[in-house]
A and B are shown apart, each in its own frame.
Chain A
Amino acid sequence: MVGLEKPPLPKQVYIPLSQHTGKACIPEVRPGESVVTGQRIAGIQAAIWAPVHASLSGKVTAVQDWPHPVLGRAKAIVIESNGEDRVAEDKRKREPEEVNKLTSEEIRNLVFSAGIVGMGGASFPTHIKLNPPKPVDTLIINGAECEPYLMSDYRLMVEKTGEIIKGIELITKCLGVKRVIVAIEENKPEAIKNFNYELRITCLAGRQANYELRILKSQYPQGGEKQLIKNLLKKEVPRGKLPFDVGVVVHNVATCFAIYEAVYLNKPLYERIVTVTGSCVLNSKVLLVRIGTPIKELIAFCGLKEEPAKIILGGPMMGIAQFTDEVPVIKSTTGIILFNQKEARIYEEGSCIRCGACIRECPVGLMPCLINLATERGLWQKAKDYGALDCIECGLCSFACPAKRRLVQSIRRAKLELGK
């Protein structure tokens, strides 16, 4: 397996104002202004949001429309590097004793000002999840890689085990939970070994919560919160409810690491781990990347075997195909996957033969073929009755369908129509 690598610093970064669930930020810097690495450059007054930080030191050259990996195009702050990567002077590290004295409120504030969002792809602001409206008793740490092809979480778990556990402890303190479950898939033996070792030390040191390391079968889609809760606790989150309704909060390992960095290192979220892979890539790599780096620089760093026909940001099952390689890495970018012409081919859609493969695959227990039929006829209410709104868009139904029906696409369509 490849180790974590750092590509050269980009000359220019394009930092979108919208990188989280919730309202987009408003720029707090103007073109021409100088910024340092880690400086807050955008924010807003809203219920759900997270601040955005400069990922380089240099000069703001523009605030302009730019390709966005999720939204297509959106406003971004452009920063030209001065090559120094200078960090703000007041950002000094905190000693462990200092961290121990922090109250939950202070930890939450640090997480908030660091701009941390769910790093598994969901990008929900983390500080909100640290303050659930109901008391919870169980914290699940999601070390199940969200999708095939991606190696970011694995790499992180192997190389930053101790740091992740420190992050977990901070979350534990905020939530006041007594039970922590670290869930890792069996295809990540090195991560399991490291966690086993480190957790034993942690438990010996007499920490507050009870840690359990649980090994999961490798099976997609494990990374979904609700699937994870079902697999680990044998209980389900009632329809329309959230995990905290059953007393559970789930955090991704990368988020735990970000929390560690924010609190111990006083480092806001301006860097993240990205897997670059796919059949067109010469050397697949796991990279530590500055937010806002155009993906073409990362692709160039890894080298190309052949010209890609499709570029996917995220995983192959739920990721988004991009129009251009100018799009920047954002806080929720887990991977960059490059497919060749053959893999990118678009299949012709055939008639449904009622084989039931989509039904057998669906982790939510839906009957995608029936939702598909309903949406084709514009019967939105029927699609809803069949549970279209419960679909987590994992893509397994479309993956399995021998007729290559565009099931997920039609369910998304139904969701849009029903949301009107």
Chain B
Amino acid sequence: MKRKLIVSSSPHLHKDESVIKIMWMVVVSLIPAGAVGVFVFGLYAFWIIILGIITAVFTEGLIEILTKRKVTILDGSAVLTGLLLAYNLPPRVPLWLPIVGSFFAIAIGKQVFGGLGQNIFNPALVGRIFLMASWPKYMTAFTKPFDTVTSATPLALLKEAKFIEQITYLDLFLGKRGGCIGEVCIFSLLLGALFLLLRGYISWHIPIPYILTVGLFAYIFGGKTLFSGDWLFHILSGGLILGAFFMATDYVTSPLTAKGQVIFGIGCGIITSVIRLWGGYPEGVSYAILMMNAVTPIIDRYTKTRIYGTRCAK
């Protein structure tokens, strides 16, 4: 034998799967929703998305160089964070806002904890909450679709008990409404989510219980009397679909086991509903997911898998 043989520990087979591929698949699945966002709100929204992504990648690379760690900017995770942050911004924010938000998301939301896999909170949401707290004026200035006139989102209108006449379910479904760039077109979000579900990159264990819980709460408590709420409206509006399928499912910050994930989803649903129905904000998806991120370690501790041969042993 001429060549030296490679000796490594078993197994000798590996699935054709990688973190890079998963991250980029999620990015790809989000493209339709962003495209519709740009179509509805204009090219300006496109620049917000691009700046969000570039800043995220740049920040990640810079910090990794400064702290002398491996530069991982091509693994898609920074791109995804920047993209999600931008999707969670209103369509006419000043262009420095996505830059500040993305920087904060990567620097404080991710790298401070030690980079990919180490962070407790969803970085994009950390960035968003930071912007919300610092510049609420910009973060709540929504515009009408195909227009630059400011208007409130359907959920905000509902909160202020204003009559929402023009908005139909179909408008909500297709994205003809006020809202953040990436959250408005439910149809394309569901398309992306379906792709991820079919490819096995996400599972139903978080999003479905999440959405059902919100629907249930809205039905019971969302109307003038009990059991008369407009549950479909609640499901289709705000950032619920974007949050449930693309942010609550973030591997790093959600529970490990299926059981834990269902609990996580229901928890998100309860918090979102409480904020929407009785809280001070019209929308609660970001806060709900962040709060559940915080309890994920506890959920993990109580939802361990059962080891073979330990059924009765306690």
Task: Given A307-B2, A316-B10, A359-B256, output 12 extra A-B contacts at Cβ < 8 Å.
Answer: A148-B13, A321-B8, A323-B5, A344-B6, A351-B116, A353-B19, A359-B305, A390-B308, A399-B14, A402-B19, A403-B18, A412-B9
30 CB-based A-B contacts, threshold 8 Å: A148-B13, A236-B308, A238-B313, A239-B309, A240-B309, A307-B1, A309-B3, A309-B6, A310-B8, A316-B12, A317-B10, A319-B10, A324-B1, A337-B12, A346-B6, A346-B8, A347-B14, A350-B18, A350-B116, A353-B116, A353-B252, A354-B117, A354-B256, A359-B256, A367-B305, A369-B256, A395-B13, A398-B14, A399-B11, A403-B117
Asked if A132 lies at the interface with its beta carbon under 8 angstroms from chain B, I say no
Task: Tell me whether A10 is interfacial, beta carbon within 8 Å.
Answer: no
Given known contacts A226-B309, A351-B117, A316 and B11 CB-to-CB distance under 8 angstroms:
yes
Scoring A240, A307, A312, A356 by chain B CB atoms within 10 A of each residue's CB, the highest score goes to A356
Whether the Cβ atoms of B308 and A226 lie closer than 8 Å is: yes
A339: interface (CB < 8 Å) = yes
CA distance A296 to B5 in the complex (A): 13
Which residue in A241, A312, A323, A393 is a CB contact (below 8 Å) of B12? A312
Complex: A403 Cα to B72 Cα, angstroms: 13
Write the nearest CB–CB distance from B81 to chain A, whole angstroms: 13
A408 and B305 contact, Cβ closer than 8 Å, known pairs A307-B2, A307-B3, A402-B22: no
Q: For B18, what are the chain A residues with a Cβ–Cβ distance below 8 Å?
A: 350, 402-404
B22 touches A317 (CB 8 A): no
Residues from chain A with Cβ under 8 Å of B14 in the complex? 347, 398-399, 404
With A399-B11, A399-B13, A402-B18 as contacts: A367 and B256 at CB distance below 8 Å: yes
Query: Does A303 belong to the interface (CB within 8 Å)?
Result: no
Given A321-B12, A367-B256, A400-B15, verify A311-B305 contact (CB < 8 Å). Answer: no
> Are B7 and A321 interface neighbours, CB within 8 A?
yes
The answer to whether the Cβ of B17 comes within 8 Å of any Cβ in the partner chain is yes
Residue of A310, A314, A351, A412 most packed against chain B (CB within 10 A) = A351
A residues less than 8 Å from B7 (CB atoms): 310, 321-323
> Is A27 in the interface zone, CB < 8 Å from B?
no
Chain A residues in contact with chain B, CB under 8 A? Answer: 148, 226, 230, 236-241, 296, 307-312, 314, 316-325, 337, 339, 343-344, 346-347, 350-357, 359, 362-367, 369-370, 387, 390, 393, 395-396, 398-404, 406, 408-409, 412
Complex contact A237–B15 (CB within 8 A): no
B residues bordering A, Cβ < 8 Å? 1-3, 5-15, 17-19, 21-22, 75, 115-118, 251-252, 254, 256-257, 304-313
CA distance A307 to B182 in the complex (A): 52
Q: Are B257 and A363 in contact (CB under 8 A)?
A: no
* A346-B6, A406-B9 given; A353·B117 CB < 8 A: yes
> With A353-B19, A402-B21 in contact, do A309 and B5 touch (Cβ < 8 Å)?
yes
Known contacts A309-B6, A310-B6, A408-B11, A230 near B116 by CB under 8 Å: no
CA distance A4 to B117 in the complex (A): 50
B257 contacts across to A, CB distance below 8 A: 356, 359, 367
In the complex, how many angstroms separate the beta carbon of B69 from the nearest chain A beta carbon?
Answer: 11
Among B2, B14, B115, max chain A CB count under 10 A is at B14
**Contact status B3-A366, CB under 8 Å:** no
Distance in Å from the Cβ of B168 to the closest Cβ of chain A?
39
- In the bound complex, how far is the Cα of B8 from the Cα of A73, in angstroms? 17
Q: In the complex, how many angstroms separate the beta carbon of A332 from the nearest chain B beta carbon? A: 15
How far, in angstroms, from A406 to B10 measured CA to CA in the complex? 9
Whether A390 and B10, one on each chain, are in contact in the complex, defined by CB atoms closer than 8 angstroms, is: no
